Amino acid sequence: MRNNSSPDPDPAPDPAPTRPGGKRPPRLFNLLSQARQNLFRSADAVFASELGYSGTQVVALFVLKSEEGCQLKDLGRLLQLKNSAVTGLVSRMEENGLIVRRQSALDARAGSLHLSPKGHEVLAAALPVLDSLNAQLKQGFTEEELAVVARFLIHAAGLRFEQDHPPSTTPKEQDHASK
């Protein structure tokens, strides 16, 4: 019999079938989504508190360090941001003095993005913050467990889902067919 005084840790219905022995398989997609949201929100608060800049701006600084002189579209692709989002990000970073835009030597129509001296300073200050965040993430896990987690995350980062059996019509097409 279940003790009703404690809250249900997983109130959402689970359509996944249970395994022999009554254990359900982990819902990895849901767990990854929750972890990503929590980690990014939490890290963003730490970066804002410790450095005065958003986590996205800090990550963009790291990208620009490794891809010095890249174009706006390249930064957007590397950060997986839409054009409008990366344009706003770059504008804020420029206003904050973290980056400078220069006319590209390769394409006069395009500008290249470069770290400013202040951007380099913020990047250096971000390293110990990232070390602390990574240490907190690793807490409670063995090196062997972390190696498996890293292998899984690398796999997930490169995965592109495909439909096993594409539907013959989309829900929108089905709606039109029923009218």
For the chain, the domains span 28-136
pLDDT of the residue at 3: 43
Identify the three-state secondary structure at position 103. strand
Q: C-alpha distances in angstroms, 115 versus 78, 95, 120, 121, 134?
A: 16, 13, 6, 10, 24
pLDDT of the residue at 46: 97
CA–CA dist 9, 7 (Å, integer): 6
pLDDT of the residue at 23: 75
pLDDT of the residue at 164: 74
pLDDT of the residue at 179: 58
Decide: 27 and 14 in contact? Cβ < 8 Å.
yes
pLDDT exceeds cutoff 50 at 172: yes
Identify the three-state secondary structure at position 4. coil
21-25, 101-105, 145-149: least confident range: 21-25
CA–CA dist 18, 1 (Å, integer): 20
pLDDT in tens, 55-75: 999 999 999 999 998 988 999
pLDDT exceeds cutoff 60 at 85: yes
pLDDT in tens, 29-54: 899 999 999 999 999 999 999 999 99
CA–CA dist 63, 59 (Å, integer): 6
Bigger pLDDT: 17 or 37? 37
pLDDT exceeds cutoff 60 at 150: yes
pLDDT exceeds cutoff 50 at 157: yes
- Look over the chain and give the mean of its residue pLDDT values, rounded to a whole number: 84
Decide: 75 and 115 in contact? Cβ < 8 Å.
no
pLDDT of the residue at 147: 97
The fold adopted by the segment(s) 28-136 is Arc Repressor Mutant, subunit A (1.10.10)
pLDDT of the residue at 79: 93
* Neighbour tally for 53: CB within 10 Å: 21
Q: C-alpha distances in angstroms, 44 versus 22, 64, 76?
A: 39, 19, 19
DSSP E strands, the chain = 99-103, 111-115
Residue with tokens 């993430």: 137
Share of the chain above pLDDT 90, in %: 60
CA–CA dist 132, 112 (Å, integer): 32
The pTM (predicted TM-score) of the whole model is 0.71
